[in-house]
Chain A
Amino acid sequence: MHDLECVNLTRIFGRHIAVNDVSFTVPRGSFFSILGPSGCGKTTLMRMIAGFETPDSGDIRIKGKSVLEVAPNRRSVKMVFQHLALFPMMTVGENIAYGLKCRGENRSDITRKVADVLARIGLPGVQDKQISQLSGGQKQRIAIARCMVLEPDVLLLDEPLGALDLKLREQMKIELKLLQHQFNTTFLYITHDQSEALVMSDNVAVMNAGRFEQIGTPKELYNQPGSGFVAGFVGDTNRWLGRVTGLSGDEARIALDAGPEIIARAGGALVAGARAEIFFRPETVSLTPIEGANQLSGVVDSLLFNGANSRILLRSSDRLIEIAQGVMDATTPVARGDSAIAWFRPAHALAFAAPEAG
C-alpha cells in the first residue's frame, strides 16, 4: 500500500517546464527525499502535492485516492515550510491547537492532544511560551508537532534545515529521522543538501531540470549512480572528460582529455569513439600502487586537513584530483610539490556518455 503516488505529473510555467512527467510512489511509513539543485522543480512538485499548485497533467493519489479535486485545506497532507511559518502572534500551544480548532475538535481534546504531542517531541510544558522565545531547533520541532498533531497521511518538509547552523543541522538530521520512526508517518523531504538526503532517507529521488534522474536507496545512488548527473551530484567525486576508444563487456577503454588512457566501468550505454565523462570517488584513489589499476601522475598541489575528510589535491595536466585514501593514517607521507601517482581500480571508475564538446 502506498501513502503517496504521483503519476506523470507535469507543470509548465509559460515556456519553462518546471516538473516534467514525474512518477513515483512512496510506501507507507517511509522517509522519501527529493534531492536536486535549486531550480530543479522540487519545490513546485511539493506545492502540487500540498495543493498550492495545480498540475497541468498527471495525477496525485493519497492512499490510492486522487486528490486533484481536493482543496489544500482538506488534504491529509501537512507541510513544514522552509522558514517554518510558525504564527508569531500565537503562543506555542495556540500554534499547535490551530489545526485542531479548524477541525472543530472540543476544547478538552485539544488541550490533551497538544500536551501529548509536545511530550512526544521532547518539549513538554512549553504551551504558553512565545514563538520568539524558542531556539532554532525547538522551533523546528514545534513546526513538525503542529503538523503531526493532525495525524496526516503524508508530511511534506521543504528544506526545513536550511536556516540552521551547521552543528544544529547535523543534530536535527538525526532527530528528524527519530521523529519519523516515532510517528511512523510517511515523510516527503525536499533538499538540495545531499548529506541530509543520504543520512535520513529510505529512498531518494534525484531530480534535475524537472525530471527524476534516478530513484533508489542512498546506497544505490552512491554506488551505482544511473547517470552522470547522479554520479556528480551525490557524494564527492572526481570528474574527467575523455573519448571512448574501445569497449569490451562492461569495461571501456577511455582516452582522457590531456591525459593517459584508462579503463573504466560503463555506467550506461557507451559508443566507441563518442565522448564520455568519468567519475571516481576520492576514497577509491590511493597514492600507494595497486595492481592492475589506472594511473594518473601529477604533482601534489596541496594538503587539506579536515579530520576524517582530509584530502590530498594532486595536480595532473591542469586538473586537480581529490585523494582521500591513506591521507589521515600517513601511510603515504607526501609534501607539497612532490611528484606522485594516483592509483584507482577500473571497477571504481564509472563512465557515462557525455554530449559532444563545443
Chain B
Amino acid sequence: MKSSDASRLTLILLFAPFALWIILLIILPQIGVGWLSLREKLGPREYAFGFGNYLDFFREPIYWNTLLRTAWISVLVTILALLIGFPVAWYIAKIARQRSRAALFLMCLIPLWVSDLVRAFGWILLLRETGIVSGMLQWAGLSSGPVELLYNDITVVIGMVYTVVLFMIVPLVSTLDGMDNALLEAGYNLGGSRMTVFRRIVIPYAMPGIVAGCIITFMLAAGSYLTPILLGGKNSMWFTEQIYEQFVTRYNWESGATFGVLLLVFTSAVVWLGLRLTGQNLASTVAKE
C-alpha cells in the first residue's frame, strides 16, 4: 500500500510542473483568447456575445488574403526546408564518420546561439542596397548601380528557410540514424535501382521524421514574426503582423484575438490536410512502434 502511495506521489510531483505549464500557459490563455474573440464591441465598455469579429474577418478580403498568403509561403518554406534539409540530414546520419557527426550537428546548432533579431539584421546587412552582396555585384561589374535585394518575397522565403531548416534536420537525422544500412543493401540486392531504393525504402522509413519536421517547420514559419517583417518590410503582408497591429496599434483586442484563433485553426487545418494527403497520421509519427 505504502509503496503504491509513494509511487503515486512521485507521479503527481513529476507531472505537476508539466500540468501547470500546459494549463496556465497554454490552455488558459487560449481559452481567454477564444472568449475574447467572441466578444463584440458595441460601444465604450459595452459588449455583446457573438460571431461578429469572425464575420468582419471574412468581409475584409485583405485579412483572409493575408492569411492565405501566409499559409502558402509557409508551405513553400516547408517544402524548401525539406529539400535542403534531407541531403544534409542524410550526410550527417549516413555518410559522415562517427567523429565528425557530432561536429556537423553542432555546426547546425550554432546559428541558434545568436538571437533571431540579430540574425535577421545580419541578412539585412548582406542584402540591403548598400550591403555586401550589392557591393560585390557592382565590384564584379555584374550591376551598374546599387541593387536592393531586400523587401521582396524571395528574400523572405530564403530568410525563413534559413531560420527553420534546423528544425527539419534534427528529426530527419534521428530517424535516418535509426535506419539499418542493411535495409539499403537489401534493397539493392533484391534488384532495386538507386531511385527505387530511395522511393520505396528510404522515404517510407524516414516518413515519421519527415512528417514531424514538416509540422514543426510549417508551424514555426506560419507563426514567425521577425523575419518576414524585417526582410519583407512594410508590404510583407504576414498574418502575425496583422495580429500585432490589431492588438498594439489599433488596440482592438477582440479582433486580434479573433485573428489568433483563426491562425491556430487554419494552420491546424493545413497540417491535418497535409497528413491526409500523404496518408500519415499523427499517432504513428509521435509514437513509432
A residues apposed to B, CB below 8 Å: 50-52, 72-74, 77-79, 81-83, 85, 87-90, 98-99, 102-103, 132, 146-147, 150
Nearest CB to that of A90 among chain B residues? Answer: B204
Known contacts A88-B205, A89-B204: A72-B189 contact under CB 8 Å: yes
For residue B201, which residues in chain A have a CB less than 8 angstroms away from its CB? Answer: 87
Sample 13 A-B pairs with CB under 8 A, ordered by A number. A73-B188, A73-B189, A73-B191, A81-B182, A87-B183, A87-B186, A87-B205, A89-B204, A89-B205, A98-B187, A98-B192, A99-B190, A103-B191
Question: Is residue B196 contacting chain A, with contact meaning CB distance below 8 A?
Answer: yes
Q: Is the CB of A85 within 8 A of B188?
A: no
Cβ of B289 within 8 Å of any chain A Cβ, yes or no, is yes
Residues on B facing A (Cβ under 8 Å)? 180, 182-183, 185-193, 196, 200-201, 204-205, 207, 289
Residues of A within 8 A of B183 (CB): 85, 87
- Which of A51, A88, A132, A150 has a CB less than 8 Å from the CB of B190? A150
Assess the B196–A102 pair: CB atoms within 8 A: yes
Please name the residue on chain B nearest to A149 by beta carbon: B190
Chain A min CB distance to B251 (Å) = 53
Nearest neighbor of A156 in chain B, beta-carbon distance: B189
Q: Which of A50, A77, A102 contacts B192 (CB 8 A)?
A: A102
Complex CA distance for A78 and B193, rounded to whole angstroms: 15
Q: How far is the CA of A73 from the CA of B182 in the complex (A)?
A: 14
Quick check: A102 and B191 within 8 Å, CB to CB?
yes
Report A-chain residues with C-beta under 8 Å of the C-beta of B188. 52, 72-73
Do residues A85 and B180 form an inter-chain contact, with CB atoms below 8 A?
A: yes
With a 10 A CB-CB cut-off, give which of A78, A82, A98, A147 has the most chain B CB atoms.
A98
Measured in the bound complex, the distance between the Cα atoms of B190 and A147 in whole Å is 7
Query: How far apart are the CA atoms of A350 and B97 in the complex, in Å?
Result: 48
- Ordered nearest first, which 9 A-B pairs have the shortest CB separation? A99-B190, A85-B182, A85-B186, A102-B191, A89-B204, A81-B182, A73-B188, A102-B192, A79-B189
Determine the chain B residues whose CB is within 8 A of the CB of A51 once the complex forms.
Answer: 189
Given contacts A87-B183, A88-B205, A132-B289, contact A78 B189 (CB under 8 A): yes
* B201 → chain A closest CB, angstroms: 6
* Chain A positions within 8 Å of B182 at CB level: 81-83, 85
- Which residue, of A78, A87, A146, has the highest number of chain B Cβ atoms within 10 A? A87
Chain A residues with CB under 8 Å of B200's CB are: 98
- What is the bound-complex CA distance between A83 and B185, given in angstroms? 12
Query: A90-B204, A98-B200 known; 4 other A-B pairs, CB under 8 Å?
Result: A77-B189, A85-B180, A89-B204, A102-B191
Q: When the two chains form their complex, are residues B190 and A146 in contact, meaning their CB atoms are under 8 A apart?
A: yes
Q: B289 contacts A99, CB within 8 Å?
A: no
Known interface pairs A85-B180, A132-B289; A102-B190 also in contact (CB < 8 Å) = yes
A227 to chain B, nearest CB (A): 33
Given contacts A85-B185, A98-B200, contact A73 B180 (CB under 8 A): no
Shortest distance from the beta carbon of B263 to any chain A beta carbon, whole Å: 34
In the assembled complex, the Cα of A81 lies from the Cα of B196 at a distance in Å of 19
B97 to chain A, nearest CB (A): 15
A81 to B200, CA, bound (A): 19
